[in-house]
Amino acid sequence: MGQYCDAATMQATLDANDYVPVIDLSASNSSDSNGAAGVVAEIGDACEKWGVFQVINHGVPLELHERFELAMKKFFAQPLVEKRKMRKDIDPLNPYDYGYEEFSKKVEDWKEVFDFPLEKEMPVSCDTNNTQTREAIPQWPEYPPEFREACEAYGREMEKLSFRLLELISMSLGLQKQRLHGFFKDHTSMGRLIHCPPCPTPQLALGTHAHTDVGALTILSQDDAGGLEGQRTIDGKWLPVQFVPNAYVINVGDMLEVWSNKKYVSLVHRAKVNSERERFSIPFFFNPAQYVTMEPIEELTNEQTPAKYRAFSWGKYYNSRKYGNFKNPDMQVLRLKHFRVFD
Ligand SMILES: O=C(O)CCC(=O)C(=O)O
Ligand SMILES: [Fe+2]
């Protein structure tokens, strides 16, 4: 494991088999079908046993990634008064948002974030029963001038990688390659830039409190400050996600848990902060279209293994998670347990 830089927060007592699997995607492109089948098997194993893995040789150009990271750092380095201009208070439904106090829903995190959606549509209301949409109003910061273009280019790369991973994951479930693609025709994916300043009392705070991601999968880029931790599916053990240069961390999200009928379980994860240095982290959430009805994929259920979830609307689920924060204390935040069928 010498090739990996250990995160500052890494426990000293990790076993060799406690490192999150690192999967080389280059073989999945090759004409060698054994190579591709090997990648599918590795991904299936990681989704089932870990709920998380990292990918290398993923095809995202390094130069594009670095340009994007630089623009992000310039944005966060501005005075608060400039960043606050991007708060969505002006239009509470605007999905473009700078914020620093209301994340992980009802718990405060030690961080500031900027959210940018890829979607062109946004809900007309934060009422979860209303899944109508209207055109989203882009709200991009003026500084740095290259910010918007860098975020959009990065978003397109993430979209490409997401569809590629979706194919590999579908195959790992024994489904047709493009079986899940239709759910993403008008997908509601978004990117999030996270900056955690150094924290004087890291034992009392978290950069991100424990949670699962609501969508299908998340592609996350963390820097060498580390801090990301996941709860491994097979034994529930909390493990650091080691920093691997130029890799992306892939989390199983709630919707993959539903489609796979719980063969894959949504990863519980969190991020620690440290007192010495700031950390940056960039998740990209790959989410279905607003109008998709979520339920286990038919081919994955049968008499012996009946559906473990009742059908529900992704739009309603997503809106309840997006808007059920401090400002909407009475709103019911939907979770998977609300749709679970217990036998
Ligand atoms: O801070 C991090 O690296 C984790 C972020 C995360 O899990 C999220 O925003 O959903
Ligand atoms: Fe997350």
Place of tokens 């580390």: 226
Residues 254, 248: contact at Cβ < 8 Å?
Answer: no
**Cα of 261 from ligand 1 centre, angstroms:** 25
Nearest atom of ligand 1 to the alpha carbon of 227:
3
What pLDDT is recorded for position 268? 96
Q: Which ligand is nearest to the CA of 241?
A: 1
Q: Which ligand is nearest to the CA of 191?
A: 1
What pLDDT is recorded for position 109? 87
Query: Could you give the 3-state DSSP secondary structure of residue 3?
Result: coil
Angle at 207 between CA 203 and CA 208, to 5 degrees: 115
ipTM reported for the complex surpasses 0.95: yes
Q: Is the C-alpha dihedral spanning 222, 223, 227, 233 positive or negative? A: positive
What pLDDT is recorded for position 191? 94
pTM of the entire structure? 0.91
CA-nearest residue for atom 8, ligand 1, is 283
**Cα of 264 from ligand 2 centre, angstroms:** 16
Ranges of the chain whose pLDDT falls below 50: 1-10, 102-104
Residues 245, 314: contact at Cβ < 8 Å?
Answer: no
CA-nearest residue for atom 9, ligand 1, is 283
**Cα of 229 from ligand 1 centre, angstroms:** 10
**Cα of 228 from ligand 1 centre, angstroms:** 8
What pLDDT is recorded for position 165? 98
**Cα of 172 from ligand 2 centre, angstroms:** 23
Q: Which of 103, 199, 208, 214 to mutate to test the pocket of ligand 1 (most atoms within 8 A of CB)?
A: 208
Nearest atom of ligand 1 to the alpha carbon of 285:
10
**Cα of 35 from ligand 2 centre, angstroms:** 30
Tell me which residues have their CB closer than 6 angstroms to ligand 1: 192, 194, 207-208, 213, 222, 228, 269, 271, 281, 283
Name 91's Cβ contacts closer than 8 Å, sequence gap at least 6: 137, 139
Nearest atom of ligand 1 to the alpha carbon of 192:
9
**How deeply is 126 buried, as exposed, middle or buried, from its count of CB atoms within 10 A (0-12, 13-18, 19+)?**
middle
Please give the Cα distance from 326 to 102 (Å, whole number): 6
Q: Which of 104, 269, 280, 282 to mutate to test the pocket of ligand 1 (most atoms within 8 A of CB)?
A: 269
Nearest atom of ligand 1 to the alpha carbon of 269:
7
Q: Which of 214, 228, 229, 272 to mutate to test the pocket of ligand 1 (most atoms within 8 A of CB)?
A: 228
What pLDDT is recorded for position 128? 60
CA-nearest residue for atom 2, ligand 1, is 271
> What is the distance between the terminal CA atoms of the chain, rounded to a whole angstrom?
43
Residues 54, 250: contact at Cβ < 8 Å?
Answer: yes
What pLDDT is recorded for position 124? 67
**Cα of 176 from ligand 1 centre, angstroms:** 31
**Cα of 330 from ligand 2 centre, angstroms:** 23
Please give the sequence-ordered ranges of beta strands (E in DSSP) within 144-278, or none if there are none.
190-196, 208-211, 217-222, 228-231, 238-240, 248-252, 268-271
Q: Name the phi and psi angles at 177, rounded to 5.
A: -45, -45
Q: Name the phi and psi angles at 176, rounded to 5.
A: -60, 145
